[in-house]
Amino acid sequence: MKINPFESAKQQLHAAAETAHLDKNIVEQLSAPDRYIEVSIPVKMDDGTQRIFSGFRSQHNNARGPYKGGIRYHQDVDLNEVKALSFWMTFKNAVVNVPFGGGKGGIIVNPKELSEGELEGLSRGYMRQMFRNFGPEIDVPAPDVNTNSTIMGWMRDEFEKLTATEAAGVITGKSVSEGGSEGRTEATGFGGGYVLREALKAGLVKGDRKTIAIQGFGNVATYLSEYAAEHGFKVVALSDSKGGVYTPDGINISEAENHKKTTGALKDLEGTTNITNEQLLELDVDVLVPAALENVFTADNADRVQAQFILEMANGPTAPEADKIFAEKEITVIPDILANSGGVAVSYYEWYQNMHDEKWSKEDVLSKLDSLMVEAFNEVLAAKEKYQTSFRTAAYIVATQRLTEKML
Ligand code: NAD
């Protein structure tokens, strides 16, 4: 049965509400998006026919600042997924204390089936239907699954044409030459690395081998594994959609990157053994990092997880039933809304630079990000100790208390 991510998200909030006796009206308000917009987008295809695509935007909450969140292109995007993702954005931004709310959008499409011209028509069409709901102070989208800086560039251009304004701050995740921020590419992976470093300092990573297994080898996993390897961790396993590789001696990350570039996959990397994604999640390692997909930990496999420390870099990788099993097994889980918030934090820096016509260096951006993540980690740790609860519930408590200050 497909797990409904929006139901999982609400359960996480309700656990925090019970633990910290949060304001009932605020919790009720946060349990549904402010607004949900659905549009039909007509696109002229290369063969002269017209196709209609469905596009969405969920604007969850803007009490702390403009709605903020990516736009994904996927054939399976649906209402509950977009709602859950916009919900998590609200809490993520509140945990790292950046003045944004939560939003998320999507189009039902397999972008690999479209030509470049059709993709541009679709992206401009989405903005034409939605532009009244967007704006630097209203709702600020960004790239997500299957969207990138080129697509964001088309959308920004369309927005500026329709509103006759110049509005670099209407979208983040732009290329640096188009007003994007230095350090955005590294931000999510490095942000997770800073949290891992702090957790290690706080004595939360048990075991002295400092071994780490990472599911995924995309943007987030690559920078996290680089950071971890540079800070004394041994990355013993990595994977992509075609499978994983393992060696107890530690993987050389740049060799893995080269191998993936030349062969198109990680498997058969020299000096490693091929494993499945399922095997990777059940390895006997000190740190386990899901950095690919939602709902990878369920009631079916949570019992077999051996790692005592999980850093959630993917959004929503742990289903609530799996969370319960992890709690029983006393596995420490650093939740997505803290662990992967480095990306949106630097999106805020990008927006801020656009709004104030500033340009920060990569060192400056990453050093600001480091301080922000350390602060967020310490606040969540303090709430965890105060309420004697999990990191996830503590993160929701910190975020909801911040939201409450603006919503009462
Ligand atoms: P990406 O597209 O660059 O990489 C995704 C990786 O997952 C790839 O290596 C891909 O091969 C792998 N993958 C896909 N299907 C898989 C499967 N069935 N089994 C195992 N691996 C599979 O994406 P990314 O930007 O690295 O994002 C990874 C995760 O982090 C996603 O859940 C995303 O929502 C989340 N996230 C990303 C950011 C960001 O700034 N990029 C921010 C917050 C959260």
pLDDT at 239: 98
Contact call for residues 296 and 270 (beta carbons, < 8 A): no
pLDDT at 1: 62
The predicted-structure confidence for 221-256, as pLDDT tens digits, reads as follows 999 999 999 999 999 999 999 999 999 999 999 999
The predicted-structure confidence for 289-329, as pLDDT tens digits, reads as follows 999 988 999 999 999 999 999 999 999 999 999 999 999 99
Contact call for residues 318 and 281 (beta carbons, < 8 A): no
3-class DSSP assignment, residue 8: helix
Q: How far is CA 303 from CA 313, 323, 397, in A?
A: 20, 10, 27
Q: % helix / strand / coil in the chain, to the nearest 5? A: 50, 20, 35
State the Cα–Cα distance between residues 380 and 395, nearest whole angstrom. Answer: 5
Give the position, in ligand 1's atom list, of the atom nearest the Cα of 316: 32
Ligand 1 centroid–CA 407 distance in Å is 33
Q: How far is CA 183 from CA 186, 224, 351, 361, 375, in A?
A: 5, 13, 13, 8, 19
Q: Would you say the pTM of this structure is higher than 0.85?
A: yes
User: 10, 68, 83, 104: which one is catalytic?
Assistant: 104
pLDDT at 3: 77
Cβ neighbours around 405 below 10 Å, total: 12
Pocket test for ligand 1, best of 92, 293, 297, 369 (most atoms within 8 A of CB): 293
What lies within 8 Å, CB to CB, of 379 at 6+ separation is 95, 398
Does the annotation mark 10 as catalytic?
no
Residue 208 has pLDDT above 90, yes or no: no
Ligand 1 centroid–CA 286 distance in Å is 22
Instruction: Give DSSP secondary structure letters for 128-140.
Output: HHHGGG-BTTTEE
Q: Determine the angle formed by the axes of helices 391-407 and 5-20, rounding to 10 degrees.
A: 80
Contact call for residues 95 and 338 (beta carbons, < 8 A): yes
pLDDT at 230: 94
